[in-house]
Every structure is written in structure tokens, then in C-alpha cells.
Structure 1
Amino acid sequence: MPASLRYSLAARLHERWRQYAENRRGAAAVEFAMIAVPFFFMIFGLIEVCMIFIASSVLDHAVYEASRPIRTGGVQRESLDKDEFRATVCERFYNLMDCNNLLHVDVRTINRFGLTPNGIPTDAAGNIDPGLLTYNPGGPAEIVAVRVFYEWPLFTPVISRPLVNMPGNKHLLHSAAVFRNEPFTSGGGLSE
């Protein structure tokens, strides 16, 4: 093969390589492809954290609103059981959360405000233990602690890892209200 032909082939390849290296038409698409996966993981992780904060606020509001009838004697007057009280809490979720098997209610009387239960009623595996939950809305002028636990399922696989505090890739939300019942009578009105 003559030297001039080799030179011209090398020169042409060099020129083609230089043109390819200077071509910027697809650079944005390639750069976006490189950062798209981490970018969307971050966005979905941020959305998930925001949803947890919103759900926590909704849970706090639901506990506050559902506890009011206990404090005023309405629950006792109507003899609401645990499932009916649980349904009352669920009504205040605005369809944001699914109550089926994810919502747990603990209502109990305590002797002093300083004896408010503050632990999470879980078994050795980290799941909510229904045997540790009670339902006693109390009587007139008794101190009542209402605790509600919700198992929030997490969806982003890597980003949500620090949020997992239960088995099954879940985050436990909880809210509490502690108050002294009003001095209602068994008929539901206030005593004098």
C-alpha cells in the first residue's frame, strides 16, 4: 500500500474524529441520560418525605378531632366500641390514607399526666402488637391517653431506606392526645 494512500486514510480518519469530537448536537440528551436516574430518585424521595409530613399532620388532626367526643362524654354516652372509634378516626383522613390493617388505636385511662405511655407497642419482630393495645375511654374527670399508629408504606427503594422503622419497608406514624375528661354525667351532659 503506497504511503500517500495511508496518509490520506489516516488524515481522513483524523478529520472524522475531530468532527465527531466537536459535534455538540446530542450532548444535552447524553448529559440528561447520565443524570436522569439519580435526579428522579431524588425527586421521588422528596415527594415521599413530603407525603409523610402531610400524612403525619392529617393523622394529628384526625386524633385531635376524634378525641373530642371522648373528652365530652359523647363516646361513652353512645357506647362506641374500639372499631367504631377507629372508624371515626378514619373518617377524618380525607381518603389520604388506607385504614385497612394499617391503623391501630390505643385508648386508655392513666392516673397522672406524668404516666402517659410513650413507647411503641411492638412485638420482638418490630410489628404492632394488638395485644398491647387497649380501649378504655374512661369516665368523668378521668385522664385519658389516645394514641393512634399508622403503618405508612414506603415506595422509593433506595432513598427511603433511612425512613424505614418497621418491617416490610414501612414507616410508623403516630399521634397522641392526652387530656382530662370533662365532668359529664352518664346522660352525656355536664355535671353541676
Structure 2
Amino acid sequence: MTLEILARRLARVGVCLRRFPRAQNGVAAVEFVLLIVPFLLIVFATIEIGVSFAARQVIANATETVARKLQTSGRIGGIQIKDAPVSVDALRNELCQQMQFMVASGCPNLSFNLGTYEGFGQVPTDTILDEEGKLTRTGITGTSGTSTINQLNVVYAWPVLTNILYLMQSPHAAGGTMPLFATLTWQNEPFPN
């Protein structure tokens, strides 16, 4: 008796297994569910990387524009460098005006430093950022003037939303941000006193 029951059950399993490859009910829904999540992650990560490259270019252009103003006229935010040192607020406002359409109002994640050096050999090249992607020095060191050598470093902590690989592998991804960095070194023109 038990052998007959076992044989019948095996026969039913065999019939079900033969029907299984022919059953098409819900296949499209299952395939859609399996493929949509990785597809959307790839699409949104690609869009986010493209937007972050555009933001990085905006920050580089803002850095170059502000440095050009300092280099050629020595004037920023209505302040002539030879009359008074550049203030942190004036420099922040000038940088924010240059990149206002890409970043939050008031540039809350912006950090920068402006340094004056005796020669190009003293300009730092490898100790600008720390392990967390933040500037090692902030603010303004020294007063730039006519014919001085200066370096402007700008970092904006860009929020990362969908780029999971970056958040998992980057040491700079603290707080879900990616540092967008621009630096420029120049010698001021000998503008008139």
C-alpha cells in the first residue's frame, strides 16, 4: 500500500515537473521585479555621477574666477587688497555667488582657504586634504598683495544619494558626502599701489 501511494505521488510530481517549463503565468512580473532594482540603481547612479561632475566643474570655474579677480585687480567683494585684507565673509560670498545655482543657499558645505607664500616651492601640494576629505587649513592665512604667490583651495561636501559603491569604498564618504575639490595657485599681477 505504501509503495502505491509513493508511486502515485512521484507520478504527480513528475507531471508537475513536466508542466513547469510550459507554465508562463507571472513570468514577466518576476523578471521585472528581478531586473528593475539593479537597472534603476545603475540609471540613478549614472545620473548622480554626471551631476557631480557638473558641480565639480562649477566649483572649479568659481575658484578660477575668484582667483582671477584677486590676481588681476586685487579686488574682491568691493575690498581692495592693498587697503585691507580680504575677509573670510567676502571671499565666501564671492565663491557662493559664482556657484549659487548648483549648491544650497548660503553654501553650508563650503570650506576654503587662501594662503600667501614666499615662493612656489613653499606652496603645499600633498597635505591639502585630510583623510576625511576636509581641508587641513581653513580661512585666510597671510595677506595677499601685489606680486605675491597665492593658493586658493575650495572644497564642497556634495551629498551622495545613490552611488552605493562610492559610499562603500571611499574613505572620504563620511556623512554621505563626496568632497568636490578645486585648487589654484597663481602669482598676483603688480597692480598699482
Letter in 1 for 2:190: P
Distance in 1, Cα, partners of 2:51 & 2:169: 15
Question: 1:127 Cα shift?
Answer: 6.7
- Once superposed, which parts of structure 1, at least 4 consecutive aligned residues long, lie more than 6 Å away? 9-17
Q: Does 1:54 align with 2:54?
A: yes
CA deviation string 1:35-65 (max 9, x = no partner):
2222222222222222221111111011001
1:103 aligned residue: 110
Contact 1:45 1:159 in 2 (8 A): no
2:185 aligned residue: 178
Letter in 2 for 1:150: Y
CA deviation string 1:66-96 (max 9, x = no partner):
1121112113517441111111111111421
1:183 aligned counterpart, secondary structure:
coil
Question: 1:29 Cα shift?
Answer: 2.2
Distance in 1, Cα, partners of 2:32 & 2:147: 64
1:141 aligned counterpart, secondary structure:
coil
| Gap runs ≥5 in structure 1 | 1-8, 187-192
Contact 2:113 2:154 in 1 (8 A): yes
CA deviation string 1:115-138 (max 9, x = no partner):
22222354xx837368x2231451
2:80 to 63, 77, 80: 77
- Provide the TM-score with structure 1 as the length reference: 0.76
Contact 2:128 2:135 in 1 (8 A): no
Contact 1:67 1:177 in 2 (8 A): yes
Greater shift, 19-28 or 44-53, is seen at: 19-28
Distance in 2, Cα, partners of 1:53 & 1:157: 13
Distance in 2, Cα, partners of 1:95 & 1:149: 17
Q: Cα distance 1:77–1:157, how it changes in 2: closer, same or farther (>3 A)?
A: closer
Distance in 2, Cα, partners of 1:53 & 1:94: 16
Contact 2:110 2:154 in 1 (8 A): yes
| Gap runs ≥5 in structure 2 | 1-8
Tell me the C-alpha RMSD between the 2 structures.
Answer: 3.2
Q: Does 1:120 align with 2:120?
A: no
Letter in 2 for 1:133: T
Distance in 1, Cα, partners of 2:53 & 2:19: 52
Distance in 1, Cα, partners of 2:120 & 2:68: 18
Contact 1:137 1:144 in 2 (8 A): no
2:147 to 141, 147, 168: 141
What number of residue pairs does the alignment pair up? 182
Contact 1:164 1:171 in 2 (8 A): no
Distance in 1, Cα, partners of 2:91 & 2:37: 44
